[in-house]
Amino acid sequence: VIAVLAGGVGAARFLRGLVRAVDPSGVTVIVNTGDDETFHGLHVSPDIDTVTYTLAGVVNPETGWGIAADTFAAVDALERFGVPTWFRLGDRDLATHLFRTQRLRAGASLSQVTAEIAGAFGVPVRLVPMSDDPVPTLIEVTRDDGPAVLRMQEWFVRERCEPAVLGVTFSGADQARPAPGVLGALNDADAIVISPSNPIISIGPILAVPGVRDALVARRDRVVVVSPIIAGATVKGPADRLLGALGYEVSCVGVARAYHDVCGTIVIDEQDAARADEIAAAGMRVLVAPTLMTDARASEQLARVTLGSL
């Protein structure tokens, strides 16, 4: 039995390999919902959808999110009404958000709907949101017009990560409860894998849900992380900028430090082999491997190496 903490694209690429390496029916994936947002009255869960579409084999291969060959007639038509359409929701993707929103309005929990959507897409693992309660990630920034607090998608998509980051908070995390199955999966798992996701805004929110961090600390020797930072840079996205803004070295060493309390083992890329001793000296086991997930085979190999490290 394996539990995986997941953000969006980095996690999805890893999971695509993991389901080839092990029996997917024994895998529980706990997904970040700090990026969840309401657009046009619809509940959008970007990381859950990215993982769902990837494991269903329908993800847009160019972007890593959204549905392959989707069209954008609905958002284009919405522009007539002057509503903001900077978050580009595809027409087929919209069906997911319509269904989710309707089910939530009828009283279903986010975890119930997530399971229903994953089931409809034939996803072979158990997908669980980190919490059924809203825990929006807020990014404190400075812009030309002064300090501001942006919701995650406003900073990430609308403002293209341009405003300098002062801090990150997980709003409402103190009161949030882990979704049903989250703590059970962490306690029962033979291995807990932290995906090569953004440590600050993809994994950070999951760890902020009460009980999750403690569950990992208690099982630190069964927890392994794959570094999302290779040779001092992200493969994609703002993880490097966020790590730097929050005072971490932008490298696999900084990633190791960020996870030191909750994670006993780190998989770092071959290009970072020279940093292995430094991480080991700080009290983490280190495995050096190719970690660039160029295709499903590379992801599968990385999943095997990662599980083999425990």
Measured distance CA(175)–CA(158) in Å, rounded: 28
Query: Taking CB under 5 A as the rule, does residue 35 contact Ca ion?
Result: yes
33 counts as binding ligand GDP under rule CB under 6 A: no
Nearer to Ca ion, 226 or 279 (CB): 226
Cα–Cα dist 231/259, whole Å: 18
Report which residue's Cβ sits closest to ligand GDP. 10
Say how far apart CA 143 and CA 151 lie, in whole Å: 14
The helix/strand/coil state of 20 is helix
Beta bridge partners of 164: 142
**What residues contact residue 255 under an 8 Å CB cut-off, 6+ apart?**
199, 225, 227, 228, 229, 243, 248, 266
In the complex with ligand GDP, which residue's Cβ is closer, 178 or 228? 228
Is 234 among the residues that bind ligand GDP (CB under 6 A)?
A: yes
What angle in degrees, to the nearest 10, is found between the helix axes of 110-120 and 46-56?
20
Q: Which residue lies nearer to ligand GDP by CB, 9 or 176?
A: 9
Task: Check residue 47 for interaction with Ca ion (CB under 5 A).
Answer: yes
Taking the complex as a whole, the smallest distance from the CB of residue 197 to Ca ion amounts, in Å, to 8
Mark 170-209 with x for binding to ligand GDP (rule: CB under 6 A) and - for no binding: -------------------------xxxx---x-------
Q: Does 240 bind Ca ion (CB under 5 A)?
A: no
Contacts 24+ apart (CB under 8 A), 88-93: 89/39, 89/40, 89/42, 89/44, 90/66, 92/67, 93/49, 93/66, 93/67
Nearest distance from C-beta of residue 64 to Ca ion, angstroms: 11
Binding of Ca ion by 8 (CB under 5 A): yes
**Which residues of the shown chain bind Ca ion in the complex (CB under 5 A)?**
7-8, 35, 47
Chain contacts with ligand GDP (rule: CB under 6 A)? 7-11, 13, 47, 50, 195-198, 202, 226-228, 230, 234-237, 239, 291-293
